[in-house]
Structure 1
Amino acid sequence: MTTNESNNASSGPLAGIKVLELGTLIAGPFCSRMLAEFGADVIKIETPDGGDPLRQWRVLKDGTSLWWSVQSRNKKSLTLNLKDARGQEIARKLALDADIIIENYRPGVLEKWSLGYEQLKAINPATVMVRLSGFGQTGPMKDQPGFGAVGESMGGLRYVSGFPDRPPLRVGISIGDSLAALHGVIGAMMALRHRDVTGGRWNGKTGNDCVAGQGQMVDVALYEAVFNMMESLVPEYDVAGVVRERTGGALPGIVPSNTYTTGDGENIVIAGNGDAIFKRLMLAIGRDDMANDPQLARNDGRVPRTAEIDEAIQSWCATQTIVSALDTLKKADVPVGKIYSVRDMLTDPQFLARRMFEQHAFADGSPVKLPAITPKLSATPGETRWLGPQLGQHTDEVLQSLGFDAQGIAVLRADGVV
């Protein structure tokens, strides 16, 4: 399938919602990406001198990141110099007409350009602005730069990742940014719902003629988005003095749940931590003694004997191939899975049955496979209408919608505003 935006009118549950993206790299753009996937009309503002740095990140094709095709699908690219007063005025017009504004600059930057939340709210009370930053819009660290790696560290994820005798590990993706983006999407949808039930969109008028629902700012800090995922970390320390530590592939206090290695060198995850599941697992690997041991019948009895249980499972796995281990445990109804690489995913029957890949084509006709859109909505599913756009691809279209003619656009372009 070749994506062609002219043949793919916006549809989905967010059709008609206007989003302005003032962001680069991951957190802000991922947030608006999800809205675009479900029908929102997203205008992404990029600097004229190179655009979003993500365009040059990781693996490139013809000078542009393959990541870009996913992260910016369905978005319109408008080049705009926000350091120029004319660029700021154009952005302000777009912001006041937007249902949602998404930004991930350092706190205070938008205020310098008269694009801050309070400045826009004074004109449009229905303004919904999602602000993603390292440490939030308040507090002593608000002005410090904070990438996802810092958020993962401060939020607690890095501390518990890895093995106890080695330094903390990072997850192999920018998970801190992505978690912040997801919190941004959730916050935007809740804020939009509140706006709609309190009066709806702004009618473009001010004073006594102003009609609008109540907008709000969604303040997402990267470290807090990560911190929100940390389960029982706080009460365990507050009540019991327990500091959760690194435990490798195991899940401490929930036994057995670990990564094991089969005889052919594959890694396999086995989660036999339910009481009935544990018994089925032990019977399946020929350890009837452990299956029928009263002390091991409940998780609190298994925890003190974690090492013994893990050793029994690993000893069995070492006698199996990945295929035989999966087959045996699946037949016993034990949660189990091979640790997949992307190569495994692309041929896996479950991925294929769920249509987790989409086939598209670049402008030159060469094919590209993209991850399908998640979550799956039964009545209004998301869709890819076009791949990540070329830099400034929609600049003329957007400016014309604001009333600029060809001559006016030419002047802005000559002056480096667009």
Structure 2
Amino acid sequence: MTDTRPAPLTGLKVVEISAFVAAPLGAMTLAQLGADVIRIDPIGGNIDANRWPISDDGTSIYWASLNKGKRSVTLDLKSEEGQKIATQLIAEAGTLVTNLPARGWLSYENLVQHREDLVMLRLGGWHDGSPAVDYTVNAASGFPIITGDDDRPVNNTLPAWDVAAGLYIANGIMAAELDRRASGKGQEITLALSDVMLATVGNLGYIAEVQATGNTRGALGNGLYGAYGQSFECADGRQVMVAVISNKHWRGLGKATGLSEKLEMIGPLLDVDLNTEGGRFEAREAIDAVVRPWFAAHTLAEAVAALKDAGVLVGGFQTFEELVTSDPRCSTENPMLTEIDQPGVGRVLAPRVPLQFSGSPVANATPAPALGGDAAEVLESELGLTADARDQLGSAGVVHLGK
């Protein structure tokens, strides 16, 4: 018998008032798990409404990608009436995600007067309350110093701390919702982007490493710290990444390349144990020198096939274009991805949440709303406002009704 339970967060209502990456990603994750998420923006959109990349007609692909499956309302949030409507929507939903300063009407102290069991999560920059974005937080993390081949700091183009913060936001809301169901009480949750970075640096051992050993890691290029991993150029000019973690991988590298005997000679020569990750790391330059000519004599496809057959972890480097146009893992062959018609953008592949539930499956991805396009529906369904009342608010410039 097929299990037809609804998506895990069906019934949860969330209001989001935010911009950029982390908070929208967190709220979208909740939406893709079944929550009803209403994003509220100022009329005309928040600071991220037109952020690059943009489509040919000027639609922000960035905004559309981070707001799939939500409903959108735009209000004059500088007016008392706009703030009142936003407050009513927050009180009706009972859950708020924001990265705006929690002061005035948007403070927890004010909002909890309208919903006693309110759950509110606010994302900030630094722990002391000063502002920050992913790139400025990353600059302090230590990672840019060990990225690349020298001591010149290189900021990662992936907004890692925003992405991690977005997933912490989703976890925080779900944890508070479980607590509210058990206790009947809401709470305010605060999260600093810098603490996401520090928690990750600590959890990966970088803080303890400095304190315990007095040492810090240097730049390794595409090398793998503490084990053997390296990138190589193949005969066709393509680059491949190889990772050797286990002894099985190590034996596979020798088998695939036909260089087992030469590789085994490295251990006695350098007095290292090649049956350990640390030993292979210490001997990395010698291993590179032995296997590099093999890669130079084989195309990327040949190298990947041989290494995979031998059980070695391997992956070819590719551009975003190659990923989208040539990699079947980034296609509808992958059930996580669905083709959607995104207004202003066109027909595109869109991911649902990458979790797979056997008993309460989540829906496929749905398009992001038009900015403010759900105002009439939301004001009616959530606040019970009549058409006349909605029109009056629209005429007064309090809400954009999309007419």
The TM-score, its normalising length taken from structure 2, stands at: 0.88
**Cα distance, 1:351–1:406 mapped onto 2, change above 3 Å:** closer
For residue 60 of structure 1, give the secondary structure of its aligned residue in structure 2.
coil
Preserved contact between residue 278 and residue 291 of structure 1 (Cα < 8 Å): no
For residue 35 of structure 1, give the secondary structure of its aligned residue in structure 2.
helix
- 1:220 maps onto 2:191 in alignment: yes
For residue 151 of structure 1, give the secondary structure of its aligned residue in structure 2.
helix
Q: Where do 5+ consecutive residues of structure 2 fail to align?
A: none
**Cα distance, 1:275–1:94 mapped onto 2, change above 3 Å:** same
Q: Using the alignment, how far apart are the partners of 2:39 and 2:277 within structure 1?
A: 51
Q: Using the alignment, how far apart are the partners of 1:80 and 1:11 within structure 2?
A: 32
Shift in Å at residue 384 of structure 1? 4.3
**Cα distance, 1:122–1:50 mapped onto 2, change above 3 Å:** closer
Shift in Å at residue 351 of structure 1? 4.2
Match of 1:267 among 239, 247, 268: 239
Match of 2:219 among 246, 252, 260: 246
Preserved contact between residue 98 and residue 123 of structure 2 (Cα < 8 Å): yes
- 1:160 maps onto 2:146 in alignment: yes
Report the equivalent of 1:301: 279
For residue 316 of structure 1, give the secondary structure of its aligned residue in structure 2.
helix
Shift in Å at residue 372 of structure 1? 4.0
- 1:394 maps onto 2:374 in alignment: yes
Report the equivalent of 1:367: 347
Preserved contact between residue 280 and residue 291 of structure 1 (Cα < 8 Å): no
Report the equivalent of 1:43: 38
Shift in Å at residue 342 of structure 1? 2.9
For residue 14 of structure 2, give the secondary structure of its aligned residue in structure 1.
strand
Shift in Å at residue 22 of structure 1? 0.7
Shift in Å at residue 336 of structure 1? 0.7
Q: Using the alignment, how far apart are the partners of 1:242 and 1:163 within structure 2?
A: 18
CA offsets per residue over residues 274-327 of structure 1, 9 Å max, x none?
Answer: 223212212322222323646322223223222111222322211111011011
Percent identical among aligned pairs is: 29
Q: Using the alignment, how far apart are the partners of 1:314 and 1:121 within structure 2?
A: 63
For residue 95 of structure 1, give the secondary structure of its aligned residue in structure 2.
helix
Match of 2:136 among 127, 146, 150: 150
The one-letter amino acid paired with 1:402 is L
* Worse-matched range after superposition: 36-45 or 214-223: 214-223
Shift in Å at residue 52 of structure 1? 5.1
Report the equivalent of 1:128: 119
Report the equivalent of 2:304: 326
Report the equivalent of 2:103: 111
Shift in Å at residue 359 of structure 1? 1.1
The CA RMSD measured in Å over matched residues stands at 2.3
Q: Using the alignment, how far apart are the partners of 1:304 and 1:365 within structure 2?
A: 50
Report the equivalent of 1:208: none
- Spell out structure 1 runs of 4+ moving beyond 6 A: none
Preserved contact between residue 233 and residue 240 of structure 2 (Cα < 8 Å): yes
* Worse-matched range after superposition: 16-25 or 150-159: 150-159
Preserved contact between residue 11 and residue 38 of structure 1 (Cα < 8 Å): no
Shift in Å at residue 229 of structure 1? 2.5
* Worse-matched range after superposition: 185-194 or 394-403: 394-403
For residue 220 of structure 1, give the secondary structure of its aligned residue in structure 2.
strand
Aligned residues: 384
CA offsets per residue over residues 200-242 of structure 1, 9 Å max, x none?
Answer: xxxxxxxxxxxxx122222221122123332110110011012
**Cα distance, 1:60–1:415 mapped onto 2, change above 3 Å:** same
Shift in Å at residue 402 of structure 1? 1.1
Q: Using the alignment, how far apart are the partners of 1:273 and 1:92 within structure 2?
A: 53
Report the equivalent of 1:185: 170
Report the equivalent of 1:403: 384
Match of 1:25 among 17, 20, 25: 20
Preserved contact between residue 48 and residue 63 of structure 2 (Cα < 8 Å): no
Shift in Å at residue 154 of structure 1? 2.4
For residue 225 of structure 1, give the secondary structure of its aligned residue in structure 2.
helix
Preserved contact between residue 59 and residue 67 of structure 1 (Cα < 8 Å): yes
Q: Using the alignment, how far apart are the partners of 1:381 and 1:358 within structure 2?
A: 15
- 1:232 maps onto 2:194 in alignment: no
- Equivalent residues in 2 for 1:25-104 (5 A)? 25-51=20-46, 53-104=48-99
Report the equivalent of 2:357: 377
Q: Using the alignment, how far apart are the partners of 2:62 and 2:368 within structure 1?
A: 9
Q: Where do 5+ consecutive residues of structure 1 fail to align?
A: 1-9, 199-212
Shift in Å at residue 193 of structure 1? 1.3
**Cα distance, 1:123–1:363 mapped onto 2, change above 3 Å:** closer
CA offsets per residue over residues 25-44 of structure 1, 9 Å max, x none?
Answer: 21111111111112111111
For residue 72 of structure 2, give the secondary structure of its aligned residue in structure 1.
strand
Shift in Å at residue 71 of structure 1? 1.2
The TM-score, its normalising length taken from structure 1, stands at: 0.85
Preserved contact between residue 19 and residue 41 of structure 1 (Cα < 8 Å): yes
For residue 16 of structure 2, give the secondary structure of its aligned residue in structure 1.
strand
The one-letter amino acid paired with 2:290 is A
**Cα distance, 1:335–1:398 mapped onto 2, change above 3 Å:** same
For residue 92 of structure 1, give the secondary structure of its aligned residue in structure 2.
helix
Report the equivalent of 2:253: 281
* Worse-matched range after superposition: 79-88 or 353-362: 353-362
The one-letter amino acid paired with 2:145 is Y
Q: Using the alignment, how far apart are the partners of 1:238 and 1:31 within structure 2?
A: 33
**Cα distance, 1:56–1:306 mapped onto 2, change above 3 Å:** closer
The one-letter amino acid paired with 1:383 is A
**Cα distance, 1:389–1:324 mapped onto 2, change above 3 Å:** same
Preserved contact between residue 55 and residue 344 of structure 2 (Cα < 8 Å): no
Preserved contact between residue 25 and residue 163 of structure 2 (Cα < 8 Å): yes
Shift in Å at residue 98 of structure 1? 2.0
The one-letter amino acid paired with 1:281 is L
Preserved contact between residue 263 and residue 290 of structure 2 (Cα < 8 Å): no
Q: Using the alignment, how far apart are the partners of 2:110 and 2:346 within structure 1?
A: 46
Q: Using the alignment, how far apart are the partners of 1:351 and 1:258 within structure 2?
A: 25
The one-letter amino acid paired with 1:251 is L
Preserved contact between residue 148 and residue 222 of structure 1 (Cα < 8 Å): yes
Shift in Å at residue 162 of structure 1? 2.1
Q: Using the alignment, how far apart are the partners of 1:70 and 1:364 within structure 2?
A: 12
Preserved contact between residue 40 and residue 73 of structure 2 (Cα < 8 Å): yes
